[in-house]
Amino acid sequence: MDVRAESLTGEYEEDTARFAALLRDGESFDLCSRELTPGKIRFRLWTLEGLTRPESFDKLVSALESCGASGAEPVRDAARFAGTALPAGQVKILSDFDALAAAVLSGCTAVFSDLFGRDALAVDLRSYPVRDSEEPENDKVMRGSRDGFVENILTNVSLIRRRIRTPALLAKRLAVGESTRTDVAVLWVEGRADAAYVRDLTERIASLRTDSLVLGHQSMAEALQPRGWLNPFPKLRTTERPDTAAAALLEGGVIVLCDNSPEAMLFPVTLFHFLQETDDFCFSPLTGTYLRLLRHLIFWLTMIVTPLWILVLNHADLLPDMLGFLIPHDPGDLPILVQLIVTEFALDGLKLASLNTPDVLASSLSVVGGLLLGDFAVTVGWLSPDVILYMAFVAIANFTQSSYELGYTFKFLRILTLLLTAAFDWAGLLAGIAVGVLFAVFNRTVDGRRRYLWPLIPFDGNAAARLILRLKKQD
């Protein structure tokens, strides 16, 4: 018989024995169980040592022990007892083993008593280990706030509430994962977000049937959108910046926070949202517009710069003298196409090596290693200096936006377009671009409501101007 699906019987001895068996009391060193008998009252407490504030637990024990010391008739109702006998704190009245076990495993303290009948208390005394809020490594700004999300969901909610001080900001907490019971929070501003959309997204998250969310937002995204993952375009947008999340909420968006993850998921999402940066709004509209247009131009070039170069080399005889510098003087021993493909993979190899290099050595090894490898490759004839130049531009330009997923999307499309151009000339270049456009048009995001190329498809002139240009903020 599955104890988790049952409710408490009201028999103190039987309920505590079954709950102890459910938690496998005595088999885990950090699961603490304590029995109190002040006067003729019996209490039994369970808590996880590393997730509970010791001083708060001591106050709870003192409050329970004082119940039998006065000699007065004890309160025989869980709700009244929690309101009169316990110190201030969040207390839930629960009546089934499953909910009580989930509360203990998330850091609450379960209190059983022969006073409560078929109920028990879950007292929130949680204190999770958490690092200090600091500026995210992958989403830095030249101007603006320097704080960032951490792995604690309550801290992340408070960072958003610090910026949006209105009772219209609502936060709903859910538990997802059969094994992990991970806390998930859905945040929106009532009156700005689409109520039907919020309800639909919340119901989809609550109905997820997955074993765990140990990988945070990525696990949830894959559970929400189990199909269409062969499309390389990212299905959701994330941020580690509270100011970016707050701005999205005020624009009518919905934020989903996942415990143990320092990233917030922003809904709904379109392709052009990935090319927005916080820095755009920290400068004047003119400077912000310049930065945004430059970001668009450079990033879109990363997809076609090497295929265009291959196309130029295929028609070198048609080039005017003023463009003769596009023809490599030392093409190397390998074909240019092979050199470009090899360099694409070599760049990713250097990234992986840099990630696994100790911090003390990472910066020096990544720079010196890249320079030495490039110089040696040119010296022995593997690579042309022109290939090093174009691939260096592609590698650096990829960081004009902060999404790794979008960067790899353009990398895959660039390699595909490169191969098609080498094989089919102009037709191959156009075919590669067309494939990328089709992938974007038919990409289904996690929310599935707004088109991925909105506001171009369907066209919305005002929205397009706001996303592509940095317009003056309107009240």
Tens of pLDDT, residues 390-436: 998 998 898 888 888 899 999 999 999 999 999 999 999 999 999 99
Q: Say how far apart CA 71 and CA 471 lie, in whole Å.
A: 71
328 part of a folded domain: yes
Burial of residue 313, with CB atoms counted within 10 A of its CB: 0-12 exposed, 13-18 middle, 19 or more buried: middle
Do residues 119 and 16 share a domain?
Answer: yes
Do residues 326 and 449 share a domain?
Answer: yes
Do residues 198 and 97 share a domain?
Answer: no
Tens of pLDDT, residues 71-94: 666 778 888 888 888 876 788 999
State yes or no: cis peptide before 455, omega within 30 of 0: yes
47 part of a folded domain: yes
Do residues 112 and 255 share a domain?
Answer: no
Q: Say how far apart CA 438 and CA 413 lie, in whole Å.
A: 11
Tokens of 14: 């039987």
Q: Which amino acid is at 24?
A: R
Region 8-15: mean pLDDT is 91
Which of 242, 267, 292 is the last residue in one of the domains?
Answer: 267
370 part of a folded domain: yes
pLDDT of residue 1: 44
pTM of the model: 0.84
Do residues 194 and 248 share a domain?
Answer: yes
Tens of pLDDT, residues 139-197: 788 877 889 999 889 899 999 999 999 999 999 999 888 888 888 999 999 999 999 98
275 part of a folded domain: no
330 part of a folded domain: yes
State yes or no: cis peptide before 331, omega within 30 of 0: no
80 part of a folded domain: yes
pLDDT of residue 122: 93
pLDDT of residue 184: 92
Do residues 388 and 290 share a domain?
Answer: yes
Q: Say how far apart CA 311 and CA 425 lie, in whole Å.
A: 6
Do residues 289 and 238 share a domain?
Answer: no
Residue 67, Ramachandran bin (φ over 0: left; ψ between -120 and 50: alpha; else beta): alpha
Do residues 346 and 428 share a domain?
Answer: yes
472 part of a folded domain: no
Full domain range(s) for residue 340: 281-461
Do residues 240 and 381 share a domain?
Answer: no
143 part of a folded domain: no
Do residues 262 and 360 share a domain?
Answer: no
Total tally of structural domains belonging to the chain: 3
Q: Say how far apart CA 391 and CA 310 lie, in whole Å.
A: 13
Collapse the DSSP code of 330 into the 3-class scheme (helix H, G, I; strand E, B; otherwise coil) and give the result.
coil
pLDDT of residue 367: 61
Do residues 84 and 159 share a domain?
Answer: no
Do residues 437 and 295 share a domain?
Answer: yes
Answer whether residue 349 shows pLDDT above 70. Answer: yes
Tens of pLDDT, residues 235-286: 888 999 999 999 999 989 999 999 888 999 998 888 888 888 888 888 888 8
